[in-house]
């Protein structure tokens, strides 16, 4: 009796939304052309770029006939997630890998992601995002934002470096958090947080591929840094409202800091304790986010402390403004109740 032939490795579709990044998009694609994993296709959706993105894509296809690359251009600017969804619809892979157009993958990136799908219970795998050397204080402040926690099992997904089984991805990514902006330095906001919650609610495993690395060449100016703070706060509020999540810890600390201030107006002897409480909660916000989560050194945290104080305030403003709009019905979003994981999973 002859042995069955080994199963073919799964086809992986790498989907990339892009907007006005012709230079780095070319380097992103060059890195995919030298991947060690062979069963690979790439799907790029151009979200109405005003630069030479279409020429870059056409030239790349001519110069790399061995890489299966398909691309399309949106008729109107739609945002990152609608572009990702269009790319998913054009793809054919059993596994859908997500990469941003400002990420440069290591040659073993796809291979390392696929290696972590050790069973059908693994719904998604995320990799490591490295930051370039900071060019200014804004870059230093943002460094570490995409850190992944856990050595084997992930506690989050990273939109620019993750791979998901098509059958668990659902019909589409969440489009009601998509950011449409002419400023391409502002994050396109993936649906990685909501996707992670949905996968875990189904009892599926989310793993980390420690050697699936991409370099995220994303730099910030003052305008884009603070715009990211405000827009990111609003997006986080929509996520919390949609899935019934509690207020984020760092924003809770900031709120407690402000609640402590009025104590000083109750009686004069409470003025000093209220100021100390404000400082304590503000410091807790900095320590939690910059040192514990982003793994900055104490010196680095002190360097970016004043900048991050302004960042958190603007983020909180965007967060609570968006919540107020949702609570008062000025904005609407479909709410989702995630049930417990199925028994035996």
What is the rounded distance in angstroms from the CA atom of residue 68 to the CA atom of residue 44?
A: 11
Which stretches of the chain drop beneath a pLDDT of 70? 1-6, 171-172, 174-190, 249-250, 253-254, 256-257, 260-261, 263-272, 274, 339-345
Predicted confidence at residue 269, as pLDDT, reads 64
Predicted confidence at residue 3, as pLDDT, reads 58
12-220 to CATH, choices 3.90.550.10, 1.10.8.60, 3.30.200.20, 3.30.1300.30 = 3.90.550.10
Structure pTM?
Answer: 0.86
Predicted confidence at residue 188, as pLDDT, reads 44
Predicted confidence at residue 251, as pLDDT, reads 72
User: In the chain, which residues fall in CATH 3.90.550.10?
Assistant: 12-220
Predicted confidence at residue 5, as pLDDT, reads 61
Per the structure block, which two tokens stand in for 308?
């991050």
Predicted confidence at residue 86, as pLDDT, reads 94
């Amino acid at each position: 009796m002859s042995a069955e032939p080994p199963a073919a490795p799964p086809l992986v579709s790498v989907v990339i939304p892009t907007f006005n990044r012709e230079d780095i998009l070319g380097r992103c694609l060059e890195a995919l052309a030298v991947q060690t994993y062979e069963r690979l296709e790439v799907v790029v959706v151009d979200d109405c770029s005003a630069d030479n993105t279409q020429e870059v894509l056409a030239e790349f296809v001519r110069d790399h006939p061995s890489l299966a690359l398909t691309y399309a251009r949106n008729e109107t600017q739609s945002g990152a997630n609608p572009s990702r969804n269009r790319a998913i619809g054009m793809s054919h892979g059993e596994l859908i890998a997500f990469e941003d157009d400002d990420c440069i993958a290591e040659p073993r990136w796809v291979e390392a992601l696929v290696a972590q799908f050790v069973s059908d219970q693994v719904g998604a795998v995320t990799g490591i995002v490295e930051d370039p050397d900071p060019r200014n204080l804004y870059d230093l402040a943002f460094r570490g934002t995409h850190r992944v926690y856990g050595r084997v099992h992930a506690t989050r997904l990273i939109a620019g470096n993750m791979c998901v089984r098509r059958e668990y991805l659902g019909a589409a990514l969440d489009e009601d958090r998509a950011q449409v902006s002419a400023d391409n330095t502002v994050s396109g906001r993936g649906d990685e947080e909501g996707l992670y919650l949905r996968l875990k609610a189904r009892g599926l495993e989310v793993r980390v591929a420690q050697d699936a690395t991409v370099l995220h060449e994303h730099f910030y100016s003052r305008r884009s840094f603070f715009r990211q703070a405000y827009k990111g706060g609003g997006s986080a509020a929509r996520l919390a409202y949609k899935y019934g999540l509690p207020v984020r810890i760092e924003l809770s600390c900031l709120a407690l800091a402000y609640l402590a201030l009025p104590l000083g107006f109750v009686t004069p002897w409470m003025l000093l304790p209220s100021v100390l409480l404000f400082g304590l909660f503000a410091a807790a916000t900095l320590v939690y986010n910059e040192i514990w989560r982003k793994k900055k050194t104490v010196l680095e945290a002190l360097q970016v402390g004043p900048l991050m104080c302004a960042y958190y305030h603007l983020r909180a403003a965007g967060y609570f403004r968006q919540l107020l709009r949702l609570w008062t019905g000025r904005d609407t979003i479909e709410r989702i109740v995630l049930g417990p994981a199925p028994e035996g999973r």
